[in-house]
Chain A
Amino acid sequence: MNYIGDIYTGASNGLREVWSNKLRSLLSMSGIILGVAALVAMVGIVQGMLNNMRASFERSGGVLKLEVHPSEAPESQQHIAGISPGMTWRDISAIRKAIPLADFVSPVVDMRWERFIANGRREGGLLQGVTPDYANIKKNELINGRFISDYDIEVKSPVIVIGPHIVKELYEGEPNVIGKQVRVKGQVYTIIGQIKPVGRARPGVRNKFNYEARFNYIPATTAMSRYKGNDEINHIEILASNRQTMPDLIEQIENTLIQTHRGILDFEVRTQEEQMAELEKLEKSFTYSLGGIAGISLLVGGIGIMNVMLASVSERIREIGVRKAIGARSYDIFIQFLAEAVVISILGGLLGLFLSIGLLSMARDLIPEGENISLIPISVMIYGFLFSSFIGLASGVYPALRASRLDPIDALRYD
C-alpha cells in the first residue's frame, strides 16, 4: 500500500479545497492563527521579561551576594537596644579585617531620590555612596572613565560615577561626559565614570521601565561627611567567593557584627537565594499559565476547524457518494477529509507564526531588552506549530470518519 501517495493526494486535494473556499478557510483558520500567534507572542514577551529579570539579578551580584540590613532588635533586647551603635563604617572595617571569605565588601550610604542639575536641566535620579569594592559586587560596566578609588574614599573626593539615565536627560546622551560637573543636593560633583546602558540603546525610545539606569554613585565617605555628618551607613553588600562557603560566611558575619553592635541583634543577613527561588517560581507559573491559556485558545481553534469540517462534509455528501461509486474506499475518503483539516491547521499555524513575529517586533519597542535576550522563542514556535498541527489532526478525525462512513447509495441520493 502506498501511504506516501495517499497522503500526497490527500494533501493536494486539501490544498485545492482550501484554495477554492478562501474566505471560509481563512475564517476557520482564524482560531488557530490567533492561538498560535498568542502563544508565541506571550511566551516571547514573558521570556524576554524573565530574561531581563535574570540578567538584572546577575548584574546585582547573583546568588553570591549577601546584604546586611538593620533590623528591629528582638523583644528580649529591646530595653538595651540603645547601646548598639547601629550600622556604621566600623562594621565595614571589622568585616574586612576578620572575614577572608568575603571577597568584596561595600557599604551603601543611601541618599534615595535626588534631583540632578546640569546644563540648566533637572532630572530625578538615585544617589548612593559606595566603596571601590562595589564595582565587583554590582556588575556595572563603564563605557568611560573609572570607578571610585581608594584614594577617593580616603580624601572624600567630590566625584561621581553617573548612570545612563542622567546622561541621557541632562547631557542629551553625549558619548563622553567625563570631567563635566553635575549638582546634586546643593553639592557639585565631577563626573569620573560613565555607566554603560543595559541593552540596545535605541534613539527616540524612552525607557521608562528601566530603574537600574537611574543609579549614580559617589564615594561612601563623601556621602557620609557631606550629607549625614556621622559614620552611619544604610546597609552592607558582600560578595562571597563561592556558594559552598556561604553558610560559614553568614555565620562569620553574624559573629563579627554581634561584637561591633555590642551584642545587640539589630541586623539581619539577607541572601538572594530566596529571590532566585522566587524568580524560578515566577518562571514556572508563567510558563504553565500561559501554556494553559494558549492551549485553551488552540483547542477553541480546533473546535472551529471541526465545525467547518462537519459543515463541509454535509455540503459535499453527494461528492462523497460519487467518489465512492467510482471506487474510493472509506479509507480514501477519510484521508481526504483529514488531510483537508491538517492543511487548514498547518496553514493557520504558519500564518500564526508570521503574526507572532509581527507582534513580538512591536513588543520589542515597549520592553527593555537585556543582553543576550532572544525575543523570538524558536522552540516555542516549533512547539506551537506542532501543537496546532496536532489539533488540526485531532479535530479532523471525527468529520473525516463521518464522511468515510457514508453509504454510497444514500450519499448519491442526497440533494
Chain B
Amino acid sequence: MVKFEKIFELSALRRYYRVGDELVHALAGVDLTISDREFIAVIGSSGSGKSTLMHMLGFMDSPTSGKMLFEGRDVSAIDREERSRLRATSIGFVFQAFNLLPKLTVLDNVVLPLTYSRKPVKNKSELAIKALERVGMEHRASHTPSQLSGGERQRVAIARSLINEPRLILADEPTGNLDRKNRMSIMDLFTSLMDEGITLVLVTHDDEVATYAKRRILMQDGIVIEDSTK
C-alpha cells in the first residue's frame, strides 16, 4: 500500500450553520495540509472554529463547500456510512471528558473500536493489552473507569484511540479536566508516542500545552490566522 505523505489536504473549506435566520460561518475558508507524523496544536478562542475543524478532520461532519482530500482521495461529500467507516479505521479520538463507557472494564473499553472497525483480529484482548502497555495502564485492565484517577482514565482513552493504528489522532482539550501534574504527564506521553510514529492534532486553548507541539495553528473567526512550525 502506498504510504501517503500528506494525510489531509484542505482547501477553501467552509462550513455554515443556519441558526434560526442567521448563517453562522464556523469555517470560513480554511487551507491546511496535515502530513504524516506531524504534531499540531490548534489554538484559538471559543467560537474560532477549531472544534468544527476537528469535527471535519474526524469525519463527524461534512463541509458546506471547499475541498477535502484524505490520503489523496476526495472526501468532501461522502455519506454517513463511509464517514463511520473512516472514523473506525483511520481516526483515533481523545476527548476532554475521557468518555470511557462506565459499565465496561478498561480492557473492554480499549477493545471497543476493534469491534466497530471489523478488522480481522484473532486475539482482540492481546492487542488491547499491547495498547495499554504503550500508555502504561496494562495493570489496570480489569478495573472499571470509576476506579481510576482522571489522569489514568485519559491514558486508557489514549490506548483506545491507538488500538486501530489510526492515521491521525484527534485530541480535543485532552488535558482540560486534569491537574497540572497529570497534564504534564499526559503531554509527555503524547510526546513519546510521537517518537513511535503517530500523527497528532491537538485542540487546546492552553498555551503551555500548545508548546509541546511542533506546529501551531491559530484560528480566529473560522479562518487560520497563523501557522507556525518550530
Q: Which of A16, A319, A327, A408 contacts B89 (CB 8 A)?
A: A327
* B156 at the binding interface (Cβ < 8 Å): no
- A2 and B61 CA atoms in complex are apart in Å by 27
CB pair B60–A408 under 8 Å, yes or no, is: yes
> What interface size band does chain B fall in?
20 to 34
In the complex formed, the residue of B with least CB distance to A17 is B103
* CB <8 Å contact, A409 and B55: yes
**A326–B160 contact, CB under 8 A?**
yes
Within the complex, the shortest CB–CB distance from A6 to chain B, in Å, comes to: 9
Kindly state the separation between the CA atoms of A330 and B55 in the bound complex, as whole angstroms: 17
B103 CB contact (under 8 Å) in A16, A330, A332: A16
Residues of chain A touching chain B, judged by Cβ–Cβ distance below 8 Å, are 2, 9, 16-17, 20, 318-319, 321-330, 332, 408-409, 412
Secondary structure at chain B's binding surface: helix, strand, loop or mixed?
A: helix
CB of A113, distance to nearest CB on chain B (Å):
71
Considering only residues 93-108 of chain B, those with a C-beta below 8 Å from chain A are: 93, 95, 99, 101, 103
Instruction: Indicate if the CB atoms of A329 and B61 lie closer than 8 Å.
Output: no
Contact B95 A412 (CB under 8 A): yes
B83-97 Cβ-contact flags toward A at 8 Å (1 or 0): 011011100010100
User: Chain B nearest CB: distance from A319 CB in Å?
Assistant: 6
Shortest Cβ distance from B222 into chain A, in angstroms? 17
Of B61, B88, B95, chain A has the most CB atoms within 10 Å of the CB of B88
Cβ contacts under 8 Å, B117 to chain A: 327
B63 close to A (CB within 8 Å): no
Q: Are B103 and A324 in contact (CB under 8 A)?
A: no
* A409 and B61 contacting across the interface, CB-CB below 8 Å: yes
| B80 on the A face (CB < 8 A) | yes
Specify which of B81, B85, B116 is in contact with A326 (CB 8 Å cutoff).
B116
Does B116 lie within 8 Å of A328, measured CB to CB? yes
B113 at the interface (CB under 8 A from A): yes
Q: Please determine whether A332 and B60 come into contact, CB atoms closer than 8 angstroms.
A: no
Q: Are A324 and B101 in contact (CB under 8 A)?
A: no
Question: Are B85 and A322 neighbours in the complex by a CB distance under 8 Å?
Answer: no
Task: List, in ascending order, chain A residues with CB within 8 A of B103's CB.
Answer: 16-17, 20
B109-123 interface (Cβ within 8 A of A): 112-113, 115-118
Q: Kindly state the separation between the CA atoms of A376 and B45 in the bound complex, as whole angstroms.
A: 71
Q: Label chain A's interface by main secondary structure.
A: helix
Which residues on the B side are within 8 Å of A327 (C-beta)? Answer: 84-85, 87-89, 113, 116-117, 164
> Least Cβ distance of A62 to chain B in Å?
63
Output the residue of B89, B93, B115, B161 with the most chain A CB within 10 A: B115
Max chain B C-beta neighbours (<10 A), residue from A2, A325, A327, A408: A327
CB of B150, distance to nearest CB on chain A (Å): 17
Decide: A322 and B115 in contact? CB cutoff 8 A: no
| Pairs across A and B, CB under 8 Å, 29 listed | A2-B118, A319-B101, A322-B95, A323-B116, A324-B84, A324-B87, A325-B58, A325-B60, A325-B87, A325-B93, A325-B95, A326-B88, A326-B93, A326-B112, A326-B113, A326-B116, A326-B161, A327-B87, A327-B88, A327-B117, A328-B84, A328-B116, A329-B84, A329-B88, A330-B80, A330-B81, A330-B84, A332-B116, A409-B55
- Which chain A positions have C-beta within 8 A of B60? 324-325, 408-409
What are the nearest 10 A-B pairs in CB distance? Answer: A327-B88, A327-B116, A329-B84, A322-B99, A326-B113, A327-B87, A328-B116, A325-B93, A408-B60, A409-B60
CB distance from B31 to the nearest CB of A (A): 23
Decide: A329 near B115, CB < 8 A? Known: A322-B99, A322-B101. Answer: no
* C-alpha gap A412/B94 in the complex (Å): 12
- Report chain A residues within 8 Å CB of B80: 329-330
In the complex, given contacts A325-B60, A330-B84, what are 8 additional A-B residue pairs having Cβ atoms less than 8 angstroms apart? A17-B103, A318-B99, A325-B87, A327-B84, A327-B89, A328-B84, A329-B80, A330-B80
Please, how many angstroms separate the alpha-carbon atoms of A408 and B85 in the complex? 14
